Amino acid sequence: MEELTLASPAKLNLSLDVLSRRSDGYHDLKMVMCSVELADEVSVRLRGDGAVNVESNLPWLPRDRRNLAVKAAEAFFNAQGEPFPGVDIRMVKRVPVGAGMAGGSGNAAAVLRALNTLTRAGMDAEALRSLGLEVGSDVPYCIAGGNALAEGRGERLTPLPAMPECSVVICKPAFSVSTAELFRRIDGRSLRTHPDTAGMTDAMAAGDLPAIARRMYNVFEDVLPRNCAEVHTVRSALLDAGALGAVMTGTGSAVFGLFEREETARKAYETLKKSYRDCFLTRICSEPYF
């Protein structure tokens, strides 16, 4: 097998809590994560000359170690203790960049999974997650996706029950939010409200979609700069359009809503896509893919 093409699904945070800042500069988090059908496509081919070639339908994406896909490839061969043979990485990007949907982390995870197969390294999911943490905090989750409770930096993952059938509308304003700035802002204040993570996981176990939607919460929404107020506008628009719940994912700027009926979700999508270029109608993928 010389080349392998894998899907790289987007990630959404049903809830996101920041517990504390750690001595290593990272933060302890508690997040309920899920994957959706919206996905990039990542193709990987081994070379032999030590070179790295990155192609994408977004020509402005970096082609060096600033791209997590390249960083993942280098980390994989370092872990194997083998000379870097070089790789061709081709990405068809559909997940918006700078949205809080782990597009880059998902691409890195896809590269790790592809190289594991192409080289017949035989690493299991846990080993790939450990390797992925060297690349980025969201990469361990993106190795297998599905529904999970993520703790620590995001590397401690507990599988969660399948979500009830529902449709998802995702809408990203025409700006991104600085992750570093949001963490600085959250360090500078005492959060008064936190997600009901235990209630969220209980609702998932019960298959209670309205109860899940009521508990959707992201603490980063509370510290958004004033110039990011459109996040709240999108959230209100999704709720007005019939979403059971709506919330920003990750550090934004994408916002998504859960809809019990596909017809209602489609109408919301048709309305919002008139104002937002990055607007998607999709569904949750509850099953891990590795």
Active site residues: 11, 138
Which helix (H) or strand (E) segment holds residue 150: the answer is strand 148-152
Least Cα distance to 231 among 173, 158, 150, 157 occurs for: 173
Residue 53 has a CB neighbour count (10 Å cut-off) of 14
Helix (H), strand (E), coil (C) string for 24-81? CCCEEEEEEEEEEEEEEEEEEEECCCCCEEEEECCCCCCCCCCCHHHHHHHHHHHHHC
At CA 146, angle to CA 68 and CA 215, rounded to 5? 105
At CA 241, angle to CA 266 and CA 197, rounded to 5? 100
DSSP secondary structure code for residue 220 in this structure: G
Q: What is the rounded distance in angstroms from the CA atom of residue 58 to the CA atom of residue 241?
A: 32
Pair of tokens at residue 17: 């809590």
